[in-house]
Structure 1
Amino acid sequence: MESTNAKYVSQKISKTRWRPVSSSALQQPHIFATGSWDNEDNKISIWSIGDHGLPGMEDELEGDPQLLCEYRHDGDVLDLQFLDQDRIVTASSTGAVTIFHHHQNSQTISVARQWARAHRNPCDNAPCTGVVCNSPEIVTVGEDGRIILFRADQEGAVRIIENADSNSIHAVTFLRTTEILTVNSIGQLKLWDFRQQSSSPSQILSLTGDRVPLHCVARHPNQQHIVATGGQDGMLCVWDVRQGNTPFSLIEAHSAEMWEVHFHPTNPDHLFTCSEDGSLLHWETASHSDMPSFLQGGRNNSMISRSAMAPAGGNQSLISAWLAGDSGKGRLETTHMLPSQTLSVNSLDVLGQCLVCGTDEEAIFVNRQVPV
């Protein structure tokens, strides 16, 4: 694709995330962070696309990612999230959780806080596999089956659910401000409510049949009951946590492990997945509707699912195409977002019309013309 810029960075990229932009501003994102893995010295790095007045970048190709600063990271970066405009939280294979501060004036990075052995087994550290932020709160999960709630401004953990899972927890997301959803290595989704003191989940959903490990989970940005997951078999699963304990729909997406799934944050009829098979896919629900544009909530809206109608008076998207059931599968349009197959695409993020992904090919790909 002509609109995709590739940057070879001499590191396998495990995670990549856009720095958030103000919702009131109409600007496109231009700063993103990456984390590396499986390298002799792993790093977190901050990048810019476009010159944005930075010295010495006038001659660079517009849109080509430029390294602003980097910092050594102990262990593989297994997850990475922006806490706010200046702070980044990482999950490490050493079990550590670290808050890094990006100083934008000097373009340097420092460690603001670290919980060194947040995740651990009796005899050794356990990898911290996932982190999710809702500033100032940070929730982490790990291969030790623990769920830990931190606050960025407090030294110790606020809450630890010691034996939350007897299996490895692979990913976590917020459903609401007090509720999180985790996915594990035997194909289960578990819903947790921090208002309850119980160390048991309030709900368990699971794939029927084979216990296929789930690697990633994403929540619909407007309708919190809708979540998407991906796992070892490359299947894209869409769930309605209000109804039943099995997926609402299953879609054959990739030929190998799916590493990440993301709804577009402001146009969630668009969804993105990436995989070990070297592909990055853009899913959009085809629009063949005669509804007036003010009802469509976006350029590409689709089938009406009455069960997914948002509450009256809410600011949510009125319609969710993802709960249209089998009738909707044929109306999903899929686009390959990379110019060619590559080694594993480990991570992606999308914001506005900008998409970034990181690969085992030691490359970062940026697309600034995502059709949403």
Structure 2
Amino acid sequence: MKAGVRREEMDCINAKYVSQKISKTRWRPVSAASLQQPEVFATGSWDNEDNKLCVWSVGENAGGIMEEELEGDPQLLCECDHGGDVLDLQFLDQDRLVTASSTGAVTVYKLHPDSQTLSVAHVWDQAHHYQSANAPCTGVACNSPELVSVGEDGRVVLYKADQRGIVRVIENADSSTIHAVTFLRTTEVLTVNSIGQLKLWDFRQQGSEPAQILALTGDRVPLHCVDQHPNQQHIVATGGQDGMLCIWDVRQGNMPFSLMEAHSAEMWEVHFHPTNPDHLFTCSEDGSLLHWETSSGSDAPSFLQGRNSSMMSRSAAAPAGGNQSLISAWLNGDSSKGRLETTHMLPSQTLSVNSLDVLGQDIRFKNVCLKQNGYSLTKGESGC
């Protein structure tokens, strides 16, 4: 299925030049009861002589920096060295971050907001390994206090953040590289691998067999990313080497419900908007950042207001309990062709967008672009 694509060059794009290649970016979560907009985000680097984990601010808590200096200009709060490339990065909670390293290590960092410093709370060295060498840890997922990691060694490893030992290891979970993982429920995770499979793992079951396997038919195209619908646990989105966006219902069948032509190269990340799940975002090696929206005839949610009216979503924000008429639009298959719009959110470019994150009313994404003064950390905001 090919959705109609519209292009919009956003007026509110700002770039911060940094001296490192950025692989991942994540917003620091805000309290569900708070009306405050997210102001702090973290980045991890890769392919540098010395890789780093950095925490940035676009708010008033940036260490005495004048507010007018912060507008559109992320400020570095703190940083620390990171062993190996940062292959994945997640916030466990407001004060703790978890990284996946190319060395095979999984590390929990403590963020100290008062002193604006980072420290290592715990590290599981060689969590992923071969018989005689380390294996890169390719992905982590958090459901505090539990976290799970996956790697090139085909292992699925379960931890508790406040315990030094490993809770469980599925040694032979996969014979191929596992690229990403997400929690479906407290005891269930979903992984995607390099031969186009999704595997559902239930930690209540013993042994190394998945509870369910889903796969694309035809060529075994590697899947690189996965995200779960925030209201409907059975709906997941994946993206892979062919740039296709796939929507799955893990309750029914073993094939995707929807296949959409998205990017012309590898899709690196896919994310549903956490509070407006009829909106979804993808980024790719082809240099594009796409906003996908299912339409249902209502006004745009607040985080998209202020954009060109022709680009506004016609979907209302889904309530906390989920609105099936909106949510099921992702599973409508061919009938959803007229209800799905796609918007380019960056000007035309050729270099990869490696990572994105979305929280509250803002979209945090970054684009690794080689400039004269280094690499760019790009911030996009709607409604400015």
Corresponding residue number in structure 2 for 1:322: 330
2:264 is equivalent to residue 255 of structure 1: yes
- Once residues 284 and 224 of structure 1 are traced to their aligned partners in structure 2, the CA distance between those partners, rounded to angstroms, is 19
Q: Quick one: structure 1 residues 91 and 278, their matched pair in 2 at CA, closer, same or farther if it must change by over 3 Å?
A: same
Corresponding residue number in structure 2 for 1:368: 381
Amino acid at match of 1:109: L
SS at match of 1:60: helix
Corresponding residue number in structure 2 for 1:156: 165
2:40 is equivalent to residue 26 of structure 1: no
Q: When the two structures are aligned, how many residues end up with a matched partner?
A: 355
Superposed CA RMSD in Å reads 2.0
SS at match of 2:336: helix
Shift, 1:288, TM fit: 3.0
Alignment equivalent of 1:225, drawn from 217, 226, 234: 234
Amino acid at match of 2:155: R
Corresponding residue number in structure 1 for 2:51: 42
Instruction: With a CA cutoff of 8 Å and minimum separation of 6, indicate the structure with the bigger relative contact order.
Output: 2
Corresponding residue number in structure 1 for 2:79: 70
- Once residues 281 and 324 of structure 1 are traced to their aligned partners in structure 2, the CA distance between those partners, rounded to angstroms, is 20
2:199 is equivalent to residue 190 of structure 1: yes
Per-residue displacement from partner, 1:221-265 (whole Å, max 9, x unpaired)?
000111000000000000011111011010000000000000000
- Once residues 157 and 192 of structure 2 are traced to their aligned partners in structure 1, the CA distance between those partners, rounded to angstroms, is 15
In the TM superposition, 1:6-21 aligns within 5 A as 6-21=15-30
- Once residues 23 and 178 of structure 1 are traced to their aligned partners in structure 2, the CA distance between those partners, rounded to angstroms, is 23
Amino acid at match of 2:381: R
- Judge conservation of contact 2:366–2:379 (CA < 8 Å) in 1: no
SS at match of 2:330: helix
- Once residues 321 and 294 of structure 2 are traced to their aligned partners in structure 1, the CA distance between those partners, rounded to angstroms, is 21
Corresponding residue number in structure 1 for 2:183: 174
Alignment equivalent of 2:356, drawn from 319, 326, 348: 348
- TM-score computed with the length of structure 2 as normaliser: 0.89
Shift, 1:287, TM fit: 2.8
In the TM superposition, 1:76-225 aligns within 5 A as 76-225=85-234
Amino acid at match of 2:323: S
Q: Quick one: structure 1 residues 251 and 70, their matched pair in 2 at CA, closer, same or farther if it must change by over 3 Å?
A: same
Shift, 1:365, TM fit: 1.6
- TM-score computed with the length of structure 1 as normaliser: 0.91
SS at match of 1:329: helix
- Judge conservation of contact 1:12–1:359 (CA < 8 Å) in 2: no
- Once residues 368 and 62 of structure 1 are traced to their aligned partners in structure 2, the CA distance between those partners, rounded to angstroms, is 11
- Once residues 51 and 367 of structure 1 are traced to their aligned partners in structure 2, the CA distance between those partners, rounded to angstroms, is 18
- Once residues 363 and 61 of structure 1 are traced to their aligned partners in structure 2, the CA distance between those partners, rounded to angstroms, is 16
Structure 2: runs of 5+ lacking an equivalent: 1-9, 300-312, 370-374
- Judge conservation of contact 1:83–1:136 (CA < 8 Å) in 2: yes
Shift, 1:54, TM fit: 3.0
- Once residues 114 and 381 of structure 2 are traced to their aligned partners in structure 1, the CA distance between those partners, rounded to angstroms, is 25
- Once residues 203 and 227 of structure 2 are traced to their aligned partners in structure 1, the CA distance between those partners, rounded to angstroms, is 19
Amino acid at match of 1:110: S
Q: Quick one: structure 1 residues 39 and 53, their matched pair in 2 at CA, closer, same or farther if it must change by over 3 Å?
A: closer
Corresponding residue number in structure 1 for 2:294: 285
Amino acid at match of 2:378: F
- Once residues 65 and 215 of structure 2 are traced to their aligned partners in structure 1, the CA distance between those partners, rounded to angstroms, is 52
- Once residues 132 and 322 of structure 1 are traced to their aligned partners in structure 2, the CA distance between those partners, rounded to angstroms, is 23
Shift, 1:53, TM fit: 6.4
Shift, 1:356, TM fit: 1.2
Shift, 1:15, TM fit: 0.4
Per-residue displacement from partner, 1:27-54 (whole Å, max 9, x unpaired)?
1100000001111111010000133463
- Judge conservation of contact 1:14–1:359 (CA < 8 Å) in 2: no
- Once residues 43 and 165 of structure 2 are traced to their aligned partners in structure 1, the CA distance between those partners, rounded to angstroms, is 27
- Once residues 300 and 17 of structure 1 are traced to their aligned partners in structure 2, the CA distance between those partners, rounded to angstroms, is 27
Q: Which 10-residue stretch deviates more, 329-338 or 144-153?
A: 329-338
